[in-house]
Structure 1
């Protein structure tokens, strides 16, 4: 066991408390992180110290194997300080899920420490050419959030043999996900958005790299038992913590600004204006309602899996709808707050300005897009969506 893993065990309460303790550092570093378009080294070190990256590591390895609602709370806490930090924590903590798709010996070799960070995406943007003992991997992937500080990077790929796609007996093209140490990949400087700028979601590439067969897996084939690993889409559920944390912080920021603002030209305290009071109340209700629905849905999913049952189509529909509802509602609430605060909210020195940009970017994620409403509706009628995680 490494020195890092010999520390006193970090449970959910301890990780949540530590996430709150580094809040001042994260707020102070937010502008620097945004300008760097990646998490800075002090911020990454602070995150590692909280134990957030080990949230999904199995108890058999000494990890906390946290329930999904506790994970959401921790991501929410970090996202209140900086959305990019919360996003990278959410992505980087997938190590426990992804390592479970490998046999234990291979996984332990790839993840010698519990706080190892994983980046990458399962989209089949590359090719795995069959060779002796494994494959040769080449390709380029987008949206490698946290890739600049990752320890392990993965990429989905189509399997080819002698240059031709390999198919199953029923003619379906074979796809696998490959995992290798981050040092074997090249991160390209491509990420320069308006929001979530500090997430370092650059493109990444690899060319003709050998991948042992044991370092690849097929989506959904988990080697681990336990509630946390029982549902193939569990790794995306804690995404709701990011918009919730951002919107909750925005509510507090807006209230603080308006408490000391004098409205022009009436020269009256803004807090006494009916439109201001209504705006604050509506925004807080929107965020509170979205938060309740998100936690209720996640808790229902967890209870279903704890009972040994498969999520029903109705529960999966609720979950899919919950994703897009949470993201879009939080964005709408923060837009309302910006409109209520007025010109003070458009200054770059005001956290609301960045919070709205962050949520505008987050809405473009596949789980925040309006087509997810259609997929959720289809699930209510028993139709499988094109996204396997739902």
Structure 2
């Protein structure tokens, strides 16, 4: 199922649609965790909302949703199931990635607006120069959503006659290749403690021809709208996942504690001062992190809408925000787990799954300590090593 290409979906309509499917996502969360991929009803439901077309351009009939509304949409999905929110966040990159190709190549890969993209852009594969393009080989990890993708991407080092091809400054050339999902092999490797439903398996390809027009490098988008002007915009809707998970965890914990008796006192947990204080602290931590997200991203969005490039200081704030948001949300949920107690560690308790999900998200490259270090360097005028920051 997919949203009608002729429908006039905008960000508000997509948000309203994802609100409607939250009960279904909750219902299938445990099944997806066990299967280590999103269930088919969940994928169909996500397609039907228009979430995967969020970043598709208006010129194609897409909604071209502003980045703050995108975060809100991903946040709403993640309140129901982190893996569904994560896969929606990854899958909706189609609108960004298609903008790095000329229109003919992009429309060939994306014949409908709700096509899902998956894959990783790190240059771990090889693109060997060939007539009209390249021969692509390699194996990539953390391919969130590859089990239901329509297009898969892979970053690769360019080689020619068996040797790395160098750029003018002497550094090895790297490009990102895009091919239909049917040409890739999905490897059954994803067996984590958290985010299991995201289906982030390894994927591979061997000596496949990639037309030159199906490859790209950062900073060469064919589109001019504010959503595409700054190369790092495609990673910004990430914030919706940890914030959404933590917001729902606050509600889950409060619901559990509202009906719990403390042992051995046999007194209602909701009347205990430390319980009340912990609930208030957790909500304040998550709320503060959320406000900082929308404040920072809103400022950057205003900058690009005005036609300007985000300043180094604005980018530094954003880079530090990735690690900060995950850290604050994770700390808040861990506080809630400790406050709830043994109920939280029982199989099937949503709070336990949310803690595992945030522990896993915290291992992502944009949530690691390195981001703090890079953000600090940026405040001193030094660019970070990742091209999309």
Q: TM-score, normalised by structure 2?
A: 0.99
Q: Which residue of 1 is the match for residue 80 of structure 2?
A: 81
> Pairwise mapping of residues 254-265 of structure 1 onto structure 2 (< 5 A)?
254-265=253-264
Deviations 1:31-75 (A, max 9, x none): 110011001111100000000000000000000000001000000
Aligned to 1:111: 110
Equivalent residue for 1:346? Answer: 345
Are residues 1:369 and 2:356 paired? no
Unaligned runs of 5+ in 2: none
- 8 A contact 2:296–2:317 mirrored in 1: yes
| CA distance, structure 2, for counterparts of residue 380 and residue 22 of structure 1 | 42
Counterpart for residue 19 of structure 1: 18
Counterpart in 2 of 1:236? Answer: 235
Q: CA deviation at 1:310?
A: 1.1
Distance 1:152 1:3, change over 3 A: closer
Asked whether the equivalents of residues 4 and 113 of structure 1 are also in contact (C-alpha less than 8 Å), the reply is no
CA contact (8 A) 1:5 1:113 kept: no
Give SS of 1:125's match.
strand
Q: How far is the alpha carbon of 1:170 from its aligned partner? A: 2.4
What is the root-mean-square deviation of aligned Cα atoms in Å?
A: 1.1
State the SS of the aligned residue for 1:190: coil
Residues 103 and 368 (structure 1), Cα distance of their counterparts in 2 relative to 1, 3 Å cut: same
Deviation of 1:4 (Å): 5.0
Matches of 2:45 and 2:71 in 1, distance apart?
19
Query: Where do 5+ consecutive residues of structure 1 fail to align?
Result: none
> Offset of 1:3 from its aligned partner?
8.7
Instruction: Give the structure 2 partner of residue 48 of structure 1.
Output: 47
Give, in angstroms, the shift of residue 348 of structure 1. Answer: 1.5
Q: Does the residue aligned with 1:22 lie in a helix, a strand or coil?
A: helix
Residue 100 in 1 paired to residue 116 in 2? no
Q: Which structure 1 residue ranges, 4+ long, deviate > 4 Å from structure 2?
A: 2-5
Tell me, yes or no, if structure 1 residue 326 matches structure 2 residue 325. Answer: yes
Corresponding residue for residue 182 of structure 1: 181
Name 1:172's counterpart in structure 2: 171
Query: Which residue does 1:274 correspond to in 2?
Result: 273
For 1:120, the equivalent position in structure 2 comes to: 119
CA distance in 2, matches of 1:370, 1:167: 31
Equivalent residue, structure 1, for 2:138: 139
Q: Is the 8 A contact 2:128 2:160 kept in 1?
A: yes
Deviation at 1:268, TM superposition (A): 1.2
CA distance in 2, matches of 1:349, 1:232: 40
C-alpha distance in structure 2 between counterparts of 1:375 and 1:339, whole Å:
32
Q: What is the SS of the residue equivalent to 1:221?
A: coil
After TM superposition, list the pairs within 5 Å mapping 1:178-217 onto structure 2: 178-217=177-216
Give 1:313 shift: 1.1
Q: Could you list the per-position Cα deviations for residues 321-351 of structure 1 after superposition, in whole angstroms to 9, with x for gaps in the alignment?
A: 1111111100000000001111111111210
Report Cα offsets for 1:272-324 as digits up to 9, x if no partner: 10110010000000000000000101100100101111111110111011111
Counterpart in the other structure of 1:154? 153
Number of positions where the alignment pairs a residue of Structure 1 with one of Structure 2: 389
C-alpha displacement of 1:5: 4.2
Contact 1:121–1:144 (Cα < 8 Å) also in 2: yes
Q: Secondary structure, in 3 states, of the residue corresponding to 1:198?
A: helix
Cα distance in 2 for residues equivalent to 1:257 and 1:173: 55
Residue 47 of structure 1 aligns to a residue whose secondary structure is: helix
Q: Which residue of 2 aligns with 1:315?
A: 314
TM-score, normalised to structure 1's length? 0.98
